[in-house]
Amino acid sequence: MTATTDGSTGALPSRADPAAGTLPADHAVRPPGDGPAGPREAAALAARRAADHLLATQDAEGWWKGDLETNVTMDAEDLLLRQFLGILDEDTARAAALYVRGKQREDGAWDTFHGGPGDLSATVEAYVALRLAGDAPDAPHMARAAAWVREQGGIAATRVFTRIWLALFGWWPWRDLPELPPELIFLPKWFPLNIYDFGCWARQTIVPLTVVSAERPVRPAPFALDELHTDPAEPNPPRPHAPLASWDGVFQRLDDALRRYRTAAPRPLRRAAMNAAGRWIVERQENDGCWGGIQPPHVYSLIALHLLGYDLGHPVMRAGIEALDRFAVRRDNGARMVEACQSPVWDTCLAVIALADAGLPADHPGLVRAADWMLGEQVVRPGDWSVRRPGLPPGGWAFEFHNDNYPDMDDTAEVVLALRRVRHHDPERVEHAVARGVRWNLGMQSAGGGWGAFDVDNTSALPNRLPFCDFGEVIDPPSADVTAHVVEMLAVEGLADDPRTRRGIDWLLREQEPDGSWFGRWGVNYLYGTGSVVPALVAAGLPAGHPAIRRAVAWLHRVQNADGGWGEDLRSYREAGWAGRGDSTASQTAWALMALLAAGERETAAVERGVAWLAATQREDGTWDEPQFTGTGFPWDFSINYHLYRQVFPLTALGRYLHGEPFAAKAR
């Protein structure tokens, strides 16, 4: 893939119809350099530039996709997988090392988001990856990294998943890792800790890891890692047991019991469980060879299947290995970055909404092509979600190019909102697709009235207590941002008074924080939650004067930065004092503006200052710089920089400022 100036990838055709222009003629603006522009003129110029750039980056097939940047563990684990399978080549190692080296901090560590603190597990994995690529341990950058690791407690203090990767090569003993028996696959769906109690991303990862945990493979290590231990003679000192009365104590005892079971497990039962896990994995491989369109289950599934006897030439393995390279983005300097997943459906629906709200004609060829592509991506077969909704017909959309097993409520809601912005040549086809999507989203409502991302009522707290699950969020309870997007979509579809929508609204009102904000599960953080909820509540009929809306507006006024923008650091997930605080960013400023505009604040100084900040910080090519991570996979534990967020959300906010209200509100 070829990276563009804003980090998007794929073919970059010229505008679909240059004669049609971008924004309507009534958006005449003062030419650059022709005297000072007022807020509206500055916003119109910025919107025009942003729309031109966005249209120029649309793929010929109709989709958009920006780079999805996470952290160097993706690159390190890609190299470790290739080393384990015996397919690591010199070019891949060299290109990956170039990227990993470029992300090292001055103190020798690696962080997991821009400006964040050093992370021990990420640093250990990055260090090992560079050793695989040939970097000597006494090289200055490697010595700094090793010293930092030892200061933080060494390998023994890393997360379980890091130590699993090290165990694959004998750098860590398997006996010192928590047990994860493959018999887990046989637990009935009503039993605590069955695989469907886990969020889909955790479920897809844990099932193959049960095979790996049972087999305990070790490949010969190409070098030692003594320099990463605080005491190489005793790398894992004994740890005291937690009190039995605590949950940690209970699960430590459960792990002890599972260790004893390992030695006594009936071999036929163990083999049957292994085979069942293997079938489960193969059945969930996507048509392009990946698993769920995300990297973690992809790499562990390949390892598990290989341990179950699938050789590298087997079609399942061959397709999986070939798919690995589709997660890689090559930089201009030759560096190779591995994406944790790819976001074309999400990016495309957000781009359509942004362009339409900025005034692009509803029948513009670019929007129609995008609608055609999105219509073709609708998931029309059951997936794992149907375990708890067996009678619900399919009809959702997933996040990625290939992911028929795990459509999500968030993408489905936003795709419907995007399709409603387009005047399509086959309206009957659109109506049919929208009806299926709405029906599916309504059927996926959780008992309390909210919506999770992938599953219904995935709320058991037990999976988070397992010693194995120290890698981030492993369940999928309803969240304010997803629920808000679904409520907004239902309101646009004329269902604001439907009892199910009203239950969603009530859930959102109950979830408001005391300071007036809403928590952001899939974006950082309270700015994302508030920027999602306020427009949804207004679209659903709550007046701008409603107390919940006024509290949210007051909070946004309080946290606006002195420069006129808004920003929030990921530390807000751990420290309440960081809520709404951070360097101003284009995407987070846009979220705040979207909420304020929905609440009727268009003529306020806060909105004008925010719009002015967006206009003043835009680059000449119509883009914005945004190294900050404003998306999340797991709050704090796994952060995301969506490279298209800096483009689509500012354009949406500018368009709504210019037009006074979202196009969706006018469309029905």
Q: What is the DSSP string of 225-273?
A: -GGGSS-TTSSS---PPPPTTSHHHHHHHHHHHHHHHHHH--HHHHHHH
Poorest-confidence range of 262-276, 495-509, 545-559? Answer: 262-276
pLDDT attached to residue 440:
98
pLDDT attached to residue 667:
35
Per-residue pLDDT of 183-215, as tens digits, reads 999 999 999 989 999 999 999 999 999 999 999
Domain spans, the chain = 32-68+341-468+490-667, 71-224+243-338
pLDDT attached to residue 39:
83
pLDDT mean over 116-127: 97
pLDDT mean over 148-164: 96
- Residues 483 and 633: their CA atoms lie apart, in Å, by 17
Q: What is the pTM of this model?
A: 0.91
In this model, does residue 390 exceed pLDDT 50?
A: yes
pLDDT mean over 95-124: 96
pLDDT mean over 214-233: 93
pLDDT attached to residue 276:
97
In this model, does residue 24 exceed pLDDT 70?
A: no
The CATH fold of domain 32-68+341-468+490-667: Glycosyltransferase (1.50.10)
Per-residue pLDDT of 397-429, as tens digits, reads 999 999 999 999 999 999 999 999 999 999 999
% pLDDT > 90, the chain: 83
Number of Cβ within a 10 Å radius of residue 334: 11
pLDDT attached to residue 240:
67
User: Cα–Cα distances in Å, from 517 out to 247, 308, 580?
Assistant: 31, 49, 9
pLDDT mean over 216-221: 94
Q: What is the DSSP string of 278-335?
A: HHHHHHTB-TTS-BTTBHHHHHHHHHHHHHTT--TTSHHHHHHHHHHGGGEEE-TTS-
Per-residue pLDDT of 538-576, as tens digits, reads 999 999 999 999 999 999 999 999 999 999 999 999 999
Q: Which two tokens stand for residue 630?
A: 């404003």
Q: Which two tokens stand for residue 515?
A: 């300071």
The larger pLDDT score, comparing residue 31 to residue 500, is at 500
Same fold, 32-68+341-468+490-667 and 71-224+243-338: yes
Give the mean pLDDT of the chain.
91
In this model, does residue 15 exceed pLDDT 70?
A: no
pLDDT mean over 502-531: 98
| Annotated catalytic residue 248 | no
Domain 71-224+243-338 has CATH 3.40.50.300: no
In this model, does residue 238 exceed pLDDT 80?
A: no
Q: How confident is the model at residue 37 (pLDDT cuts 50, 70, 90)?
A: low
**Dihedral over alpha carbons 159, 160, 162, 164 (to 10 degrees):** 170
pLDDT attached to residue 264:
86
Q: What is the DSSP string of 52-117?
A: HHHHHT--TTS---B-EE--THHHHHHHHHHHHHT---HHHHHHHHHHHHHT--TTS--BSSTTPP
- Residues 550 and 73: their CA atoms lie apart, in Å, by 42
pLDDT attached to residue 662:
62
| Pairing mode of beta strands 336-338, 328-330 | antiparallel
pLDDT attached to residue 480:
98
Reduced to 3 states, what is the DSSP secondary structure of residue 662? coil
Per-residue pLDDT of 577-629, as tens digits, reads 999 999 999 999 999 999 999 999 999 999 999 999 999 999 999 999 999 99
Reduced to 3 states, what is the DSSP secondary structure of residue 510? helix
pLDDT attached to residue 462:
85
Q: Which of 78, 347, 357, 410 is catalytic?
A: 410
pLDDT attached to residue 5:
35
Q: How confident is the model at residue 9 (pLDDT cuts 50, 70, 90)?
A: very low
Q: How confident is the model at residue 392 (pLDDT cuts 50, 70, 90)?
A: very high
User: Cα–Cα distances in Å, from 501 out to 393, 438, 552, 643?
Assistant: 19, 11, 21, 32
**Dihedral over alpha carbons 438, 512, 456, 498 (to 10 degrees):** -40
pLDDT attached to residue 31:
40
